[in-house]
Each structure stands twice: as structure tokens, then as C-alpha cells.
Amino acid sequence: MSIAEIIAEYVPAVEGPRSILLLAGARHLAERVPGAGTYEPGDPRPGGAAILVGAARPGGESDEVDTVATAVHEGDVLVLLLGATPTELRVGPLVQSVTAGGLRVVRIEELEAPLRGTLLIACRGALLPRASYLLGEAIPDTERAYERLANEWAIEGLQLRAVAGMVAAAHAAAEEADRAAQETRLAAQQAVRSAQEATRATQERVRAAEDVADVRGRELTALRAELAALHAELAVVAKSNRELRVLAKRGPGWRIKRAAALVKDDPVEGTKHVLRSVTGRVRG
């Protein structure tokens, strides 16, 4: 139902139709509520009963009730548009203000879109019957009916407190899970950073080892070249040594020793061989 339709339900009265007066916080509803006038608590107003329409910002519900309660006369109906949703209402202060103002809440429900918040309807005394929000029926002004209403509030109040406890526990668990997840993320990030630092350190060591290996490789190549040169020089020296030994064997001392050995082994033939050799050299 729209606000205009809800207000229209309370216009009829035994003494005649109630006028509709918009309080300061509800002036923006003028286009939605045709025929509505404006009113400030304490100012003179038209005679007869009226429907006072007000509005309260979230968190200011009890202050608004305190302000307008004195303007609600016998036969009047107070329609308040509370900015807070039912789950956001500050229930204790609101109940205190309504009770202190001598008002009786006969209807309270969540506003329908596009509006946001809570609709509260109250009057002074037993002018209007209360409605059972569980059954959606008006409650007659009898002792049994009030017993039923009290039981309704007591039983559902317990359920609401239990649900609120479950919600609070779930919220606390969710926050704890968020904290644990955050700690896990931080630990994982730290592990990644540590691994990156270790990787960089290892890469530096590898580069340093590669540099050392490169220098040592060049040193090894130079040593191998030097060793090859020494081997070549040694080969030349060895060859020269062999040639010198051959020359030494074929010199005069070697020939004399050989001639002496021939004569010793065979004096006759050896002597002939030596003489032939000497004669040949002289002739030559």
C-alpha cells in the first residue's frame, strides 16, 4: 500500500473526517497526499481531529516522538515515517519516548519501495484497535485479546532474541574467518617475498660462481697453452740431445775404441780391418 492509501484508512471518524496535516519533516509528501495541509507543533490548527504526518531521520526516531507527542490530541492519529529500517531501529529509546508521550502504537511495519524505513502509527488512548502483526487481524479491546497480544510479544520476543544471537554469532564467526583469511594471506605474501629474496640471493651466487668459473677457465686455457709450449721445447731439447749423443759416438774416440775392440777379438782379421779403414780414409 502507498502512504496515501494508508493515511486514507484513518481519515473516517465518528465525529467527521479527520484533516491531514504534514509536519516539518514530512513536507516532501505533499504531492503524494492530496488535500494535506501543514502544521507545526504549538501553532493553532483547524478544529476537529487530525492525522499528523511526520518523519524522522535514522537514529532520531525517539527525538521526533518527543517533539510531536504533545501535539497529538484525543481523536488524532500520528503517522510517522521513520528513516531507520526495522532492523536498524533503536527499540529501547523509541519505546521509552512513545510510552512517556502517552501514545499507543497500533500499527508498525516496514515501508514498501521506493520508500525506505519503518511506518509507525499511534494514537492517544484506546481510540484505534491494535493489529496483530502475526495474524494481520485487528485485536478487540478485551482482556483476553490483550492477554493474547502479551503472549504474542513474549513468545516471539524470545525467538527474535535467539535469532539475534545466532546472527551475532554468525557475524563474529565471519569476522574471525576474515581475520584468519587475512593472516593466511599475509603469511602467504611473506612466504612469497622470502622465496623471492632467496631466489635473488641464489641467482647472485650463481652469477658470481659463473664469473669465477669464467676466470678460472681462461686461466686453465693459458696454462694448457704454456704446457704445450713447454712440451714442444722439451721435444726440441730431447732431439738435440739425441743428435749430440750420436755425434759423440761417431767421433775419434769412438773409432779408436771400436778398432781396439776388433783387434782384441781377432788380432789378425781385426788388424787387417783397421788397416783397410785407415788406408781408405787416407786415399779419400
Please give the residue that has the higher pLDDT: either 254 or 115: 115
Find the CATH number of the domain harbouring 71: 3.40.50.150
- Which is more confidently placed, 7 or 268? 7
Strand order in the sheet with 19-22: 37-38, 19-22, 50-56, 77-82, 118-124, 103-110
Q: What is the pLDDT of residues 145-164, one digit of tens each?
A: 666 666 666 666 766 777 78
Query: Which pLDDT value is given to residue 135?
Result: 54
pLDDT band with cut points at 50, 70 and 90 for residue 65: very high
| pLDDT tens profile 117-133 | 889 999 887 666 666 55
85 inside domain = yes
Q: How many domains does the chain have?
A: 1
Q: Which domain holds residue 100?
A: 3-128
| Residue 226 maps to a domain | no
C-alpha to C-alpha distance for 214 and 208, rounded to whole angstroms: 10
262 within some domain: no
Question: Does pTM surpass 0.75?
Answer: no
Structural domain includes residue 90: yes
